[in-house]
Amino acid sequence: MSDSLKDILRKTGPDDHQNQTKDKWERKQDLADSYATDDPDQTPTEQRHDHYRRKQEFASRLGPASERLPIRTKDEIEAMKKNRPQRRQISFEGPIEKLIEKYKDPKEVFQHLSIGQLMKYVLDEETGCIYEGEKLIFDGEKLVTG
Give the pLDDT confidence of 67-116 residue by residue, as tens digits. Answer: 667 788 899 899 988 888 888 777 888 898 999 889 888 888 888 888 88
Pick from 54, 64, 49: nearest CA to 31: 54
Final residue in a domain of this structure, among 60, 83, 106: 83
Clarify whether residues 26 and 78 are in a common domain.
Answer: yes
Question: What total of structural domains would you count in the chain?
Answer: 2
pTM of structure: 0.41
| DSSP state at residue 143 | B
What range does the domain containing 75 cover? Answer: 3-83
| Each residue's pLDDT tens digit, 108-146 | 888 888 888 989 999 988 888 899 988 988 887 787 765
Clarify whether residues 75 and 16 are in a common domain.
Answer: yes
